[in-house]
Each structure stands twice: as structure tokens, then as C-alpha cells.
Structure 1
């Protein structure tokens, strides 16, 4: 059977002088898709594309729709305006702004009808993670070969720390560093578990719990837009929590999680004596009828991270109990003499070491900078390690 690609039609207002998208006008389907970004896991920075297979399932060619009655997945209502930085507003809320823009650039504004498919939506998602202008990047330039750009860059900024007198120590790190860069850390299972857990957090939860530490500008704008749509009554009932405080999937938690994201309630599963797997909706086995010899029983799910024969709690480990090398870019490998020697041979500067007891606030620093930086350990720890170098100079004086 033939399949037909779904399309979303956007009315794109292009500033011809600046060659950028000022804003787009869209029906609620495109806005629904944008808001769904907040529910996706942080791991999409590595696996972008696999998480929104079902998100782009709409067609915006709906001139006959009564928008007073129509309801989307997350929102309801009429048409919306989306800026280049993914701020979402109702058309009526931006009339004065739009009039000012048109009056000031009447000869430089061009309106284009652009149809986008799933591939373009995925590119907008990717660009929203690394750029303040994802609509311009994709709709005008296709995002090819464009360098990341942020108006509020982390470069040269110190990530704010929690103001706590006595902070909880969660693990220890042996830092190996030069004068201005952390090369790598020697870490135990506890620290590796914590940074692996970053991949499981929904982006909306990261914004909620990190607050101003969360510096992915476009997703900040989406989160703020969701809050305003909720306050204005345009959010579908029951969806606010899913967008503004999404939960972890069952058994995705880890011991010593530092930001307090809750887990979703696990689904119920049943099985009959004939080993047919049933769901909570189908707990009577139709294959075997209602024979007393094939009764259905609820099964207990086991945390896949737990050891064989271990507990069924949701606090197992993502990795084995080993020592690991964690590079500045958060590449994790089991610690080995060969990898250490190979790493040191590539460095000409003197190398020193420092042992740190890492606090929860510093783990939050790592999480915050890991979202936008390729030098997460340097950004999070270099200032802390100044003054605590050991007297051992690993490589020359």
C-alpha cells in the first residue's frame, strides 16, 4: 500500500534585507510538534530523529476546520505566530508588534508559503539545540554547514552555583589537567552513572530543575511559551505536566540522581499460564478462553540495570563497577594503562593532578555545560581545581 508524506504548511515572513525569518504563522499542528521537543530525552543530541516518529502526523491543509472546537495534542485554539527563536504567541497578541514590523520594513518583508515534511522538522529540532535561529537555518539555508550560534553563549561565563553552606558530596574525581584545561578525570562507577543519567532526562524537566543554568535558548523560549499558553487557557487539559515537568521512563532512574526528576508510573502487564503476554487493557486471555487452567496473573517487572538476582528497585547501575577515564568531552572508557600513556603522549605541556570531592552543585554544573559545550569538565571544574594541584608533576617541570 502506498504511503503519502505528511506536510505542514507555514506562512513564512522573510526579512529580505537581513535574509532571515522574522516569524512564521502556523496552525496549531506545527506548534504541537515544537512543544513536543520538551518531552524528548537529552540523548537526542546524539540520536536526534528517532524520538519523534509519531509527532509529525498532521496535515495543516485545514481551511475548513472550526478552530474554536479543534484540539491538538498539547494545545487548542486558533492560529499562532512562531519567531525565529521559537517563541510562540497568539496572532492577536502580536498585532501591534507585527504592524510595527510591517510598517518599518514594508518593502523588505516577503511572505512565502513553505511546506515542510518530517525531515525539515527534524532539522529544526537539531538546530534548536545549537542555534538561536533554527527557522532561518532550515527554511532559508537548510542548516547545511552553518556554525552554531548563541546570543547567550557560555563562553567565558561561570555557571551559577547553589548557595548552600554544606553541600552533599556525591563522588570523588582524580583530575588530570594542564594550566588551562582539564584533560580527563579518573572516575568510579558513581560519577559515570550520574553523567550517563543525563541522557535520560526529558528536556522540559532539565529546564524546570536547572532554571537559569539551562542555557539552550530556543528550548528556554519553548518552555516559556508553554507556560504562557497554559496561563492563557490554550493548553489541552492534562498536558501541562507532560510539557513543563515530564517524567523519566520507568526504570530510567539511577542512584544519587541530582535533579529530582520523577519516574512515570510503570505499565501493568499480565500473563496467563499459557505464557501469553497481556497488557493492563487485556488481562483476560482470549486465546485460551476462560479456562481455570489459564488464569491471568500480574507480572513483576525487573529493573534491567539491576544485577542478576538483585532487587527490583529502580536504582541499578548503567555500568560495571570499574574505574573509568572520562575526557573533557565526556567520552567514557574503562581506565587502562595504554589509554593513559597514549593520552599523555599527545600533550606537550606539563600535566598536574588534583583530587576533588564533587558536590551535587558541581554535578549540576557538569549537566548544564554538557548541553552546549565540548569542554564540560574544564567549564565545570577548572576554577575549582586552581590551588588544589598536587605537588606531583606528572610530566616534567
Structure 2
């Protein structure tokens, strides 16, 4: 984002109990509520990247997603069909990017927009690129010049803060709880019935100024603490409770026949997962986590992501904020039913994700054609070349399979080959959702999602 955008400040009235070091609630305007709700539009890979960019070496670990992202970044480019394919995974775009650039403060640091413009610079034709694997061919309708792709910086003068709100209407003020429930400021009854606050004897109001660093701190705290506002204002650290169990969801009943093979290498004497082996289809599935917006993740996991503040934000958008307070129905849907940009989903995706429709009508009037993009020269398909085998660590770090490296690792850990067993699993939708959920909070995502069921189910084939 621009330096000017980073200078934006928000004023919050916060009701606190200083003796307990606790935020009771905060009163904010719609512009700050929009920034907070925009967290739901951030792809998981974007969150990892902007936290790393802002905090540097002090960036917090975001479950197993940080190591998944770093493993992807360290893979040689010859594993991918093109450099552009790898770049999309490292710099995923949100389908709400255009709207978020109108926020009072946009933290997404998204890639520049791309437009198709006339090569003769008549500028009478300027169309946004809305597909990652198609380019437009044809001529400018005005001067018949060829159409070329132009990258437009995010600081383009045409991108300005939206005066009538981005997600919510500007006439509304909101209350925010410590765990990031957001609701319209509609009266005293909310204090008792919704917030559960009946005793205000020890409560007092303080004024807080929130700028770019504070919003980044709030994003970080919302991923690591059940009480992010209290942590920020009282400068304390509260850890999210962790659960070491099988991650199961009600969504497992969704019909999806696609499955992938995964080979788990487990130490016999301890039942500890050592690593997993998989081909490019499973690795692409893991990399697909990085393109999913937070709101889409909570939706996939039936509003139970184990990230309590993020679940609260989602519930707020879905239930607590009435439709009349949103700018329009599309604004609400972008938060609770976000789609994936056109061209991002590979042929190996397994999760029930919705992709943006490719609207051809605006281009047809200019008699434009299509050609395969330089990012995906073969059209929509795969990110990774194959066939190829990969090693996947418990924290989802992906590396090329190398038997010499694996044997050396076992030797360093003093684990004899005779103490290693091979367990074959079929990964379907239920297992896929379990791995996704575990990846949000755990640095042992594969063990937490899969290993317990392997131990309980001796029918799985062991070698």
C-alpha cells in the first residue's frame, strides 16, 4: 500500500476494566469496521506474506501455513509450468481486491492490477484483466491498434477511499467485543443482552488511536489470541488454546468423489509421524490453501476454524450485522461466500471452492479474442509439472523427494529403517478439510489431522 495510506488513523472509544486488564467493548465508525471485516477477504498466503513483510524475523508462525509458504518459495522454478504460476501462489489476489483498495486503510499489499490497453496509446480502451490464464487478442475499437497488457500500480490516482462505504454503510456506528464480534450500535439493550455486561462500576472509557501498525498487530493477535483487543491495549500475550485431536467437521458429508494418495512414514515404536510422501496432485492441494480467503476457510469449516476471533468476525458478517447495514448484498457475500479469482483453481483442487465467473460480454463488443496467458501457456490446468514425488514434513514444508537426504535424517535421529512403517491413505474431502483446519493453528498439521485415525484404524494398509 502507499505511504499515504499508512498514515491513516482511526479513533476508537474503548470501554475497559483496567483492574482486570480487559476490554469490554469498543465503539467505532463504519470505516474501521470495514477494515476489520476486510480480514475475511485476505487469502491465507497474503496473510503469511504481509506478516513476514511487516514483522521481518519476528513474524509469528501462522500454524503450518508459514512453513508451507516458505517451502513453496524455496522450490526451484523448474517445478512449475511457469514463473507466473509460482508467483500467483506466492502473491495470491483476492476477488475483493478492487473493493479493498477503497478502504480507509488497505493492508492487503496485493499485486498491481493488469489492464488491456491500446498499443498506440489512444487510451480509449482500458479493460481490467479478470482471468489469470487468458489474454485478450484483437484490435482497439477506436484506432485498430493491437491490445497489450499493462501493469497499473496500486497507487493509481483512480483508486481513492470510498465515501459511501466499502462493506457497510457510512451512517452506521458499531460495537466491537474483545473477541471481535461486530454489531451495529443500536442501543443500550445490546450491552446487556448481547455483550452480557451488567456491572459498569469498574468500567471506564479511554480513547485509542489506531494506525497501520496497530491494525497489523490486531491481525496478528486475531490469529494467535482469543482476546486480541485486550492484548493490544494492555500489551499482554494470551495464547489461543490448542487441541491435539482429530479435526472433524460437519462438512464431511459434502459429496466429492475425488481422492489423492498419501504415504505416511511412521516410527513403529512411538507412532510418531516422520514425514509423508506424495505426488504433485497432493502438493498442489496443499498449495491451494494459500489462495483461499479467511472467510472462505471459515465457511468450509462450518464456522469452526479454531481461530476464535476470525470465527467471530465471520459470525458478525453472517448473522449479527443485518442486511440493511451492508452497502449492498454483494458486499456481504464477498465476506461470507468469497469466490476464488478466475484461473486460480488447478485441476487438482478438491475443496468445494467457488471461482469467479469470466464475464465475456464487455470484450465481445470490441470483437476481442482470447489466447493462453504467459502465466499458464496451456490454459487452466496445473501449477506443478509432473510426475514428481515430494517429501512433506509434519509442518507442511514441501521439498523434492531425495532418498539420500531421508536416510541421512533417520541416521541423525538414530531411527533404524526397521523401526519405520509405511501407511497408505486415501485423502478425500473429509481428510482435506481436516488438514486445512489443522494448518491454521498447529505446527504438526499432518499428525493432528491424520495420525490419530491411522492409529485407530488398523485396516489401513501398512508395509
Q: TM-score range by the shorter chain?
A: 0.7 to 0.9
Structure 1 residue 243: Cα displacement: 1.1
CA shift in 2, pair 1:330/1:216, >3 Å: same
Structure 1 residue 26: Cα displacement: 0.6
Matches within 5 A, 1:194-343: 194-228=285-319, 231-237=322-328, 238-266=330-358, 298-300=368-370, 302=372, 306=376, 308=377, 310=378, 312=379, 314-318=380-384, 320-343=386-409
Q: Structure 2: how far apart are the matches of 1:316 and 1:304?
A: 14
Structure 1 residue 268: Cα displacement: 6.8
TM-score by length of 1: 0.77
Preserved CA contact (<8 Å) 2:182 2:316: yes
Residue 57 (structure 1) aligned with residue 126 (structure 2):
no
SS at match of 1:172: strand
Q: State the superposition RMSD in angstroms.
A: 3.3
- Which structure has more relative contact order (CA 8 Å, sep 6+)? It is 2
Matches within 5 A, 1:342-381: 342-348=408-414, 350-381=419-450
SS at match of 1:221: helix
CA shift in 2, pair 1:169/1:343, >3 Å: farther
Q: Structure 2: how far apart are the matches of 1:127 and 1:27?
A: 21
Deviations 1:308-364 (A, max 9, x none): 4x3x2x332345431000010000000002321233134345432211222221111
**Residue in structure 2 matched with residue 140 of structure 1 by the alignment:** 234
CA shift in 2, pair 1:348/1:303, >3 Å: farther
Residue 73 (structure 1) aligned with residue 173 (structure 2):
no
Q: Structure 2: how far apart are the matches of 1:159 and 1:130?
A: 21
Q: Structure 1: how far apart are the matches of 2:49 and 2:297?
A: 18
Structure 1 residue 212: Cα displacement: 4.6
Deviations 1:123-171 (A, max 9, x none): 1112112221111222321x6xx36324xx4334542365659973511
SS at match of 1:343: helix
The count of aligned residue pairs is: 350
CA shift in 2, pair 1:165/1:44, >3 Å: closer
Q: Structure 2: how far apart are the matches of 1:80 and 1:335?
A: 52
CA shift in 2, pair 1:222/1:320, >3 Å: same
Q: Structure 2: how far apart are the matches of 1:368 and 1:381?
A: 12
- The answer to which structure has the higher helix fraction is 2
Q: Structure 2: how far apart are the matches of 1:94 and 1:155?
A: 41
Structure 1 residue 258: Cα displacement: 2.5
**Residue in structure 2 matched with residue 395 of structure 1 by the alignment:** none
Structure 1 residue 264: Cα displacement: 1.9
CA shift in 2, pair 1:126/1:54, >3 Å: farther
- The correspondence for 1:22, drawn from 21, 24, 39, is 24
Preserved CA contact (<8 Å) 1:176 1:351: yes
Structure 1 residue 8: Cα displacement: 0.4
Structure 1 residue 384: Cα displacement: 2.7
Structure 1 residue 81: Cα displacement: 0.6
Q: Structure 2: how far apart are the matches of 1:84 and 1:299?
A: 52
Q: Structure 2: how far apart are the matches of 1:389 and 1:347?
A: 26
SS at match of 1:371: helix
TM-score by length of 2: 0.67
- The correspondence for 2:240, drawn from 109, 130, 149, is 149
Unpaired segments ≥5 residues, structure 1: 60-69, 270-279, 285-295, 393-397
Unpaired segments ≥5 residues, structure 2: 54-92, 107-162
Deviations 1:191-225 (A, max 9, x none): 00101101111111122222055222111111111
Matches within 5 A, 1:65-104: 71-76=164-169, 77-93=171-187, 95=189, 97=191, 104=199
Preserved CA contact (<8 Å) 1:352 1:390: no
CA shift in 2, pair 1:302/1:181, >3 Å: farther
SS at match of 1:249: coil
Q: Structure 2: how far apart are the matches of 1:128 and 1:300?
A: 42
Q: Structure 2: how far apart are the matches of 1:391 and 1:248?
A: 38
